[in-house]
Amino acid sequence: MNRSKSFVWQSAGLTDTGNIRKVNEDSFLDSPDTGIWVVADGMGGHDSGDVASKSVIDSLDALPSMSEIDMFVEAAQDNLWDVNKELRLIADNRGSQTTIGSTVALLLAINGDCAVLWAGDSRVYRLRNGAIAAVTHDHSQVQEMVDKGLIKAADAESHPASNIITRAIGAYENLVVDVKFDKIHAYDRYVICSDGLYKEVSESEIEQIMQSSNNINFVASRLMELALSRGARDNVTVVAVEFSHKTKS
């Protein structure tokens, strides 16, 4: 648990290889003392996805806690741009046909402010006043098709192109990371996850589990258990975070 000037937060994170894959290419960071929570998913089907996701996590884990959210976001972006260059250099040294990449989704918190940053299709969900909302918008081929009205959202996960992402750390020379700023509300809950979770567990089920207990460790554990019970065709990673008002001493 960590205390800021305005809020208290607590968190829990879990990752699992799943029931099909032999290597876990997911990585996560659960750092309440710094106010940063991250999920990175190495690009499936590419070389060294686990190296890519770990590079993302190691870089963000080196960030110090900061006093302003704008500074925190800028520092996180700088680190991700550096990792992007590093992964592309490694890929170049291995040959022009090699891509080493990772999605990233992260939550930063300072006092009463927070920000969500992402590239790829790892997601951040927020539960506020009992209702869930997807904070992130997938950078994927099927999401672009949904946005253009070419396919229905309900058909996206079963589409043959569902595994093609259009943005990732290490994938392109010019990395663009989306950012959303927000004010923290008391009792906000966040779930940061790789696609291994939401491909097995529906958004409504995620909402129900986020509402189901005052224990944030239970929330993370229950989401993981449900994904594994559904077959867990991919690696599964979940980080759950809860905010509440700081009590006066």
| Domains along the sequence of the chain with CATH | 2-245 (3.60.40.10)
- What tokens does 29 get? 């960071």
Confidence of residue 221 (pLDDT cuts 50, 70, 90): very high
The 3-state DSSP class for residue 30 equals: strand
Give tens-digit pLDDT for 9-56.
Answer: 999 999 999 999 999 999 999 999 999 999 999 985 566 899 999 999
State how far the alpha carbon of 61 is from the alpha carbons of 35, 38, 85, 152, in Å. Answer: 10, 9, 18, 38
Instruction: Evaluate if residue 96 carries a pLDDT over 70.
Output: no
pLDDT tens digits along 182-195: 999 999 999 999 99
Residue appearing with tokens 């093609």? 164
pLDDT digits (tens, 9 = 90+) for 153-177: 776 776 666 678 899 999 999 999 9
Q: Are 84 and 131 in contact (CB under 8 A)?
A: no
Whether residue 107 is predicted with pLDDT greater than 90 in this model: the reply is yes
Q: Quick one: pLDDT band at residue 236, thresholds 50, 70, 90?
A: very high
> % helix / strand / coil in the chain, to the nearest 5?
30, 30, 40
Q: In this predicted structure, what is the pLDDT of residue 110?
A: 93
Q: How many Cβ atoms from other residues are within 10 Å of residue 29's Cβ?
A: 21
- Cα(209)–Cα(224) distance, integer angstroms: 11
- Global pTM reads 0.93
Residue 27: alpha-carbon gap to chain centroid = 10
